[in-house]
Structures are given as C-alpha cells and as structure tokens.
Amino acid sequence: MDSSASVKDFIAKEVADWDDELVTVARFKAFSGQRSDWQPNFLFWRNLIIKIATHFRFLTVQPSQVKNEWFNRGGLTPLCLDRVLFLMYNEGDIMRTLDLVDPRSGRVSQLFRKVSSLITRSATPPDIVAEEFVVVTAVLKDKAAEVVKHLSENHWNSSCIITMKKFQDVCGGPDEASVILRYLSGCRTAQYLSVHKKEL
C-alpha cells in the first residue's frame, strides 16, 4: 500500500465526519473574510496535517502531495490548502530545508545567511506549495530528541564524535540525517567537523 492510500485510511478513521458531504463542502472552501471567520477551518487542516505527519513519522512532506493526494475526494481538493500551508510556514509548523542552518558553513556565514533569509522571507513570501519538500517541525524536534538521547545513552561523556555514516544510520538515512544535523547545528547541540577539504 502506498503512503497516500495509508494516509487516506488514517484520515477516514481519525475524522468521524470525513464522508459527510455538507461538512466537506464547508471545509474545502477557500478562506475569505476575517481570520476569525476561517480560523476553525485552518486549525482543522493544520492539526490534521501535523497529526498525519506525526503518526507516520514523516519528517518531510511534499506540499503537492498533501494538496493533491492526501485530501483528494474524487478529484476535488481543498481550495484553502495553499493558504493553510503558507500560514503553517509563517507560524513555524513547517519549514524549508534552506531555512535551517548549513552545518558545513562557518558561524559568520550562518549568521549572514539567517539575516538574509529573514529579509528575503519578509520581502517575498515563499510559494510553499511549489517547494519540493518541507520539514514538519514537530516531527523534526521529536526525531532530533531521539537521536540526542540515543547518542547520550551510548556514550559515557557529555560529548561524542561520530562519523557521518554512523549518524546517518542513527537518523534512518542520509536525507533525514541531513535535516536533523542542520537542526541540531542551529541549536548548537551538534557541530559538523571535516578532516578532508573535499568534504567541505
């Protein structure tokens, strides 16, 4: 069974009125008016997306898949999802990989990049749906905490040095390791060290 089918099964079990046509019409509408008018709908979609990601341990998700597959009902998709994902990004529920610290760059470069990112972010809001992947913050924090706990339980001192290969094994693969290392570097919990120039 593919992930989208599994997600749909989960939604059907989790949302009691998912098959209620009247409720669906209201939920699938685009947001309009004041935020207070559509806040309950936003919270429904936000919480459901986070619940799905947490349940399936999706560290990253594809916005296009969330929009076009997860909630697709006979070809109909929620008209509000672009706005939902954008608000989730603005409020820190999801983030782009490039918003995370690059552990291979120096502190000055990291600071410069963070400032540049903040300026760019406020000047030109990103099209989140167009992103290939976004990181689910709640899952990232959980997985990062698990990695730190695993490492602390397997090393007697407060600091340890492990190879990238070992770190990738602990994280569950190179893609997840890359995201988690970026996050831990930003928290000053981990630091990337290279002994070969070609690794920089």
Mean pLDDT calculated for residue range 87-114: 76
Which pLDDT belongs to residue 199? 46
How large a percentage of the chain has pLDDT more than 90? 62
Q: Which carries the bigger pLDDT value, residue 21 or residue 111?
A: 21
Question: At 73, is the secondary structure helix, strand, or coil?
Answer: strand
pLDDT of 37 above 70: yes
Q: Report how far residue 177's alpha carbon sits from residue 150's, in angstroms, rounded to the nearest whole number.
A: 14
Which pLDDT belongs to residue 151? 85
Short-list 29, 24, 1, CA closest to 12: 24
Which pLDDT belongs to residue 124? 56
Q: Which residues pair with 135 in a beta bridge?
A: 60, 95
Dihedral, CA of residue 38, residue 39, residue 44 and residue 47, to nearest 10: 150
Place of tokens 């760019």: 120
**Backbone φ and ψ of 48, nearest 5°:** -70, -40
Tens of pLDDT, residues 138-184: 999 999 999 988 888 876 566 777 888 999 999 999 999 999 999 99
pLDDT of 196 above 60: no
Tens of pLDDT, residues 45-84: 999 999 999 999 999 999 999 999 999 988 899 999 999 9
Token pair in block for residue 190: 């981990």
Beta strands across the sheet bearing 60-61:
60-61, 134-136, 94-95
Q: What angle do the packed helices 35-56 and 137-153 form, to 10 degrees?
A: 30
* Whether 66 contacts 85, CB under 8 Å: yes
Which pLDDT belongs to residue 160? 76
